[in-house]
Structure 1
Amino acid sequence: MGETSPVEFFDDFNGESDHWNYRTDNYASISQEKSILRLCSGPTEALYYSNAELSDGLFDDLPWVEKTFEAKLRMTGNHYGSAGWGFWNHTMQFDKNMCMWFIHLQSRGPYMFQGFFAQVGKHLYPIKVYRGNIALLSYASRLTLGKLGVLIHSAKPSLQTLDLTEWHIYKVEWRKTGVNFHIDGNQVARLPPPAQGTKARADIWIDNAVFGYNPRDAGRVYRHLTQENRNTTCIEVDYVKIY
């Protein structure tokens, strides 16, 4: 079960903890068996948003500042949409969104980001690329100073051989000087820190959408670009630690 203190939270999912918020939308589920938590999405219809999500804060009730998120987990197969884990300040507004997480993105149609990335706000670092010219995108994003909506910090993935269906230990180390990303003890990315005073929640999710950026959007938010998945895909979580 989960335990909290001013400096640490740990859950090995041997039982249900009231620390977490459990969310499912449409074709999604959350289950727990033999100390493994399973967040699953699919099969999903393309026109409907489906999401399974585990988090520990809502809106402005955000518990973490400059902590380390660590989790042992894996994905169970090829997935269209997004999945990720780390810290987030729970807003999709362009000017306020501040995520510090690992994120998988894949779509069937044209989309700039097809791969697995470290992300801090508008800053991205490629870890594994599924398809597309990440070198060209990185150059264009830096040349335009992020006017594409993101700034991609490297033209080369840091761990192209990564298999997301195997168990790995992922760590997001949030500090005043920057955010470090580690997989199995090896640093795979470092990105600029969020603004001082940022608060965030821990978040793990899998859904059937990638996210669209339109600078003329009336709500000034990232929109869901939903995908069809013929099979169920899950994130299996062995433990989460925050310290």
Structure 2
Amino acid sequence: MRRLLTILLLAPAAALIPAVDAHADPAGTGYTLVFADEFNGSAVDTAKWNYRTDSKAYSTQRPQNVSVSGGALNIALKKETYGGKDYTGGGVVSKQTLRYGYYETRAKLNDGAGWHSSFWLMAGDGSTTYPASQRTEIDGFEIDSVTPTRIHHGVLTWKGNGVSAGKSYGTTYTSATVDSRDWHVYGIDWSETSTKFYVDGVLKYTAPYLPTDWTHDYTSIWLTSIAYGSVPDATKLPSSVQFDYVKYWQKDYYVDDDGPAAYGYGETGTWSTSTLTGWTVGSPTRYATCNSSGNTATWRPNLRAAGTYKVSYYKVTAANSDSAAKLTVAGTQTTVNGTTGPSGWVDLGTFTLPAGTGTAATLTSSGSGCARADAVKFTRI
């Protein structure tokens, strides 16, 4: 990871915010910027963001506490009675949901005990931290203002509504070089096989979070601060937490048969939902009428950049699976025997592909067993 420090830019409110030319990886490695907010306007972009509005611990979160000025998102922290609490905080939650890729923000947190600030990923709209849809939680940073040099990174799994799914990974450490009351860059690199956490471009922790651990779902970006852990130090209020920007770069593309990643999935012929699960926990799969030829399943990604991609099909192994299913990508056909070996990714080849939706992987049933469809991934190399 490289972070190139550039000149100081004069923010609209005449506050100097050091600017950073931040990039997920050195140029040419295949990341494409997909989501960004530099907070350079005069108001929160409500086309991009929901407000956090729950009441939790010592504070209620209010939209009125969130503003954009001086080139930053500002979250006001107040001693204020509202919603049955004696303090108010706030935050924003992205309306767009995302999965694998590199996420980054730059933040400056408050001084004074009693506040819990976070850059994190989880499903939800901000009305509660326990939505029914919560499955994956990835904490880019969690910092309690009583110990501003103590940082937590981690992954939690949920069954929804605040019920733990039992898997968790994390680390908490005191940094000799990072004081969160100054500006610092925090990054999350989430892939199928791990989640890596960076501070100022330095890798701090890797969580071995696999699809076999729990469902890897689509999540929103949360930038928040609430009164939590201890009663806030009222002598330090009002105060604020600031986020200079947030960005998300995508590199790999997964198309599934269900959920948000099914945007490019289609079928011809007769297909049904199987009791066999796919590449991530709880992921349903599909099967074509057994011993019937010519049924097709198609996975069509929206590639945001031209490049070289390794294409892989997730084979669901079963005794009655298709023993000679045909997988075709860019005119190249691969025969896959679904009756032998373990379930897992099957390499269909490496291809130079254009940007957009012009490329697809197509499965065609051979008539020998039940053709099965789950997911295809296009991995940028």
Residues 119 and 235 (structure 1), Cα distance of their counterparts in 2 relative to 1, 3 Å cut: same
Aligned residues: 188
The CA distance in 2 between the partners of 1:200 and 1:178, in whole Å, is: 16
Q: CA deviation at 1:35?
A: 1.4
SS of equivalent residue, structure 1 residue 8: strand
1:85 matches 2:119: yes
Task: Work out whether residues 27 and 43 of structure 1, in 8 Å CA contact, stay in contact via their aligned partners in 2.
Answer: no
Tell me how far apart the structure 1 counterparts of residues 246 and 187 of structure 2 sit (CA, whole Å): 10
Amino acid across the alignment from 1:73: A
* Contact 2:118–2:143 (Cα < 8 Å) also in 1: yes
In structure 2, what is the equivalent of residue 120 of structure 1? 155
Q: CA deviation at 1:162?
A: 1.6
Verify: 1:184 aligned to 2:200, yes or no.
Answer: yes
In the alignment, which residue of structure 2 is the partner of 1:228? 232
Q: Does 1:12 align with 2:31?
A: no
* Match for residue 93 of structure 2 among 55, 67, 81: 55
* 8 Å CA contact 1:68, 1:242 repeated in 2: yes
Could you tell me which amino acid in structure 2 is paired with residue 118 of structure 1? Answer: H
Q: Quick one: distance in 2 between partners of 1:81 and 1:70?
A: 21
| 2:57 corresponds to 1:41 | no
Q: CA deviation at 1:7?
A: 5.7
Residue 51 of structure 2 contacts residue 62 of structure 2 at CA under 8 Å; is this kept in 1? no
Structure-2 separation of matches of 1:78 and 1:150: 33
Tell me if the contact between 1:31 and 1:37 (Cα under 8 Å) persists in the aligned partners.
yes
Counterpart-to-counterpart distance in 1, 2:244 and 2:75: 12
Partner of 2:182: 166
Matched, 1:99 2:137: yes
Match of 1:130 in 2: none
Question: Partner amino acid for 1:39?
Answer: I
Query: 1:117-172, CA deviations, whole angstroms, 9 ceiling, x for partnerless residues?
Result: 002116xxxxxxxxxxxxxxxxxxxxxxxx9x886755x72634320011111101
Cα offset, 1:236, TM superposition: 0.9
Is contact 2:52–2:62 with CA below 8 Å preserved after alignment? Answer: no
Matches within 5 A, 1:129-208: 157=173, 159-193=175-209, 195-208=214-227
Corresponding residue number in structure 1 for 2:103: 69
Residues in 2 aligned to 1:162 and 1:74: alpha-carbon distance in whole angstroms: 11
Deviation of 1:82 (Å)? 1.3
Gapped runs of 5+ residues in structure 2?
Answer: 1-31, 54-60, 158-163, 250-381
Question: Of the two structures, which has the highest relative contact order with CA contacts closer than 8 Å and spacing of 6 or more?
Answer: 1
Percent sequence identity is: 18
Higher fraction of strand: 2
For the 8 Å contact 1:28–1:42, the answer to whether it is kept is no
CA distance in 2, matches of 1:51, 1:97: 25
Q: Which has the larger radius of gyration?
A: 2
CA–CA separation in structure 2 for the residues paired with 1:41 and 1:31? 12
Structure 2 residue identity aligned to 1:105: D
Q: Distance between the aligned counterparts of 1:206 and 1:82, measured in 2?
A: 5
1:18-71 per-residue CA deviation (whole Å, 9 max, x = no partner) reads: 2111345259711221211111222256971633111113xxxx6111122101
Which residue pairs with 1:222 in the alignment? none
Aligned AA (1:53): G
Counterpart in the other structure of 2:246: 240
TM-score by structure 2 length? 0.43
Counterpart AA for 2:142: I
Aligned residues of 2:155 and 2:169 also touching (Cα < 8 A): no
Q: Indicate conservation of the 8 Å contact 2:77/2:240, yes or no.
A: yes
Q: Which moved more, 1:187-196 or 1:230-239?
A: 187-196
Shift of 1:173: 0.9
Structure 2 CA distance for aligned equivalents of residues 72 and 164 of structure 1: 10
Scaled by the length of structure 1, the TM-score of the pair is 0.64
Closer, same or farther in 2 for the Cα pair 1:94/1:178, shift >3 Å? farther
| Paired position in structure 1 for 2:260 | none
